[in-house]
Chains A and B, each alone.
Chain A
């Protein structure tokens, strides 16, 4: 229930502020609306139990990138160009791509809704005492494979936290299984777990991303240096 309320609040904020980004005519106002969008996204991450991602979202986007954006807008914007047009020649393509993406989102939403996706919030409407469903078992093994957990660890550490007498996943009721899934998801949002899977399962993508960032850094230095020698010469 709490997750749903948070989702609705942050969802409305995110969409509303995203619309403001393209509706405001003053670039500074647009940039601020974008900051609000990032905050709402961080809020959505928190409601999903992904605290680490939420913190990184705020540090990287709201704290670093948008500050630089504001900086640049302020320096380029002194006195002139108080408002800008928000529409340019790419509007036809923008509309087409927008419609495509919206259709995609709606299609996937409908498919997920009538399907059997189990979310912790949905589980509360299920009958009390019903046995654990196969979807929930699938979800648990999915978490296991993503985060390198094994069943014995879940059975010994997390199952007793959900239901004191039980010691295996299979004996749980459906509502207890939902609690377990929520607990596991919260546990996996912790920074040490994320660090572990980043440096084991996702090592290659992680290193490739680092290389891309390094290339950008070198690019910045090269560009700045070249300008420097030009003016000196």
Chain B
């Protein structure tokens, strides 16, 4: 932290440029990976015509988006219609500002941390920015002045608001044990070995967080907002060309940033069996970045894997999962972690009792749901339920 001002400014600028470009390249890589992995899962080839093994496919896709005609329908609210794609991209971009993507790197005597800004409210910052993600969707939906768009937007915002709660609450247990809001501190405290990482100590919270992160990205199995069969394209029905591509990119950026945050908070960040300490002050930084990159890539693979494995939820199932399972689990982890930690200070006990308590809660909720289920379900009566009219 004792860097001279000019080194601080220059290194920060370099880091910002590098991270933003890594994100953009990551989006391209993800588009290719998505198509390749889906091909693999469905036992077909996937893209293999553009360049060797189809690796130039994302560039072809990008050029297609840029060259397509950019339509602005007459009936839209123009300022907001134009603003919405930018608004959805911004939260994804600014969240990566606090994620530590490596230990630190020493160049000509200056130790530069591999993180754009280590602020003392890191986790709160991430929650604050995540809560803004919904604006891009809602505004795009409303400004399109189209019923399909609006329905998609309302579905998606109801979903994001519901799961945001779980997202925040599932982190409280982690914060209690780390007693810091700085992502770097939380990552370092977990140590280098997988059995000391937070995902084992807070396993139910990790599951809840990951599920909520899936829901926040609006991807299958949570993509009701853009369910093609019901809503044409959902909130981006009226968007074409590069504006549609911005929605598309934002989804992938949210995935990448969400994975990076999950890796930092639950999977030990850049640490792995002491590998990150090998090599001098320069190479250890590079290796730590490599470890972080690999973990994030694994998490992203899980994202793709889930998308091509699970079918889409029905709207009432989605709300049940969020409010009746994930939220109680997140609340239980807070109570259990707090109580156990106050009395015993044993991480092992916290880990075991968290899982036991979460299992009990799930059992109770499931039993209650089965007991109170009406004989003929399906006819969902939720206030925001649109499945009935749109499916007919």
Residues on A facing B (Cβ under 8 Å): 26, 28-29, 32, 35, 51-52, 55-56, 58-59, 62-64, 67, 70-71, 74-75, 78, 190-192
Contacts and interface: CB of A to CB of B under 8 A. Distances in A.
Given A51-B121, A67-B138, 12 more contacts: A51-B120, A55-B121, A55-B125, A58-B131, A58-B132, A62-B132, A63-B130, A63-B131, A63-B164, A71-B157, A74-B142, A75-B154
Contacts of B120: 51, 190-191
B132 to A, nearest CB: 6
Interface string B116-142: 000111001101111110110011001
B138 A191 contact: no
Contacts of B164: 63
B325 to A, nearest CB: 21
B121 A63 contact: no
Given A71-B157, A74-B142, A74-B150, A52 B132 contact: no
A226 B3 CA distance: 62
Nearest to A26: B77
Nearest to A75: B154
Contacts of A28: 77, 80, 139, 142
B124 A52 contact: yes
B161 interface: yes
B131 A191 contact: no
B181 interface: yes
Nearest to A71: B157
B54 to A, nearest CB: 40
Contact of A70 (B79, B138, B181): B138
B128 A51 contact: no
**Interface bin, chain B:** 20 to 34
Contacts of B134: 67
Interface string B135-168: 1001100100000001001100100010010000
Interface of B: 77, 79-80, 119-121, 124-125, 127-132, 134-135, 138-139, 142, 150, 153-154, 157, 161, 164, 179, 181
Contacts of A62: 128, 131-132
Contacts of B77: 26, 28
A13 to B, nearest CB: 16
Contacts of B157: 67, 71
Contacts of A26: 77
A221 B135 CA distance: 27
A32 B150 CA distance: 17
B121 A59 contact: no
Contact of A67 (B130, B142, B161): B161
Given A28-B142, A67-B138, A55 B124 contact: yes
B181 A191 contact: yes
Nearest to B83: A32
A51 B119 contact: yes
B181 A59 contact: no
B150 A67 contact: no
Contacts of A51: 119-121
Contacts of B80: 28-29, 32
19 contacts: A28-B142, A51-B119, A51-B121, A52-B121, A52-B124, A56-B124, A58-B132, A59-B127, A59-B128, A64-B161, A67-B131, A70-B135, A70-B142, A71-B157, A74-B153, A75-B154, A191-B120, A191-B181, A192-B179
Contacts of A32: 80, 139
A8 B7 CA distance: 27
A74 B80 CA distance: 14
A180 B80 CA distance: 45
Contacts of A29: 79-80
Which of B127, B132, B157, B179 has the most CB atoms of chain A within a 10 A radius of its CB? B132
A1 B127 CA distance: 30
Contact of B124 (A64, A70, A75, A191): A191
A71 B125 CA distance: 24
B135 A67 contact: yes
A211 B132 CA distance: 28
B327 to A, nearest CB: 15
Q: Rank and list the top 6 A-B pairs by shortest CB-CB distance, nearest first.
A: A63-B131, A55-B124, A58-B128, A59-B128, A51-B121, A55-B128
A29 B157 CA distance: 18
A128 B142 CA distance: 58
Contacts of A52: 121, 124
A191 B181 CA distance: 8
Nearest to A62: B132
A56 B150 CA distance: 29
Contacts of A191: 120-121, 124, 181
A121 to B, nearest CB: 17
Nearest to B141: A74
A20 to B, nearest CB: 12
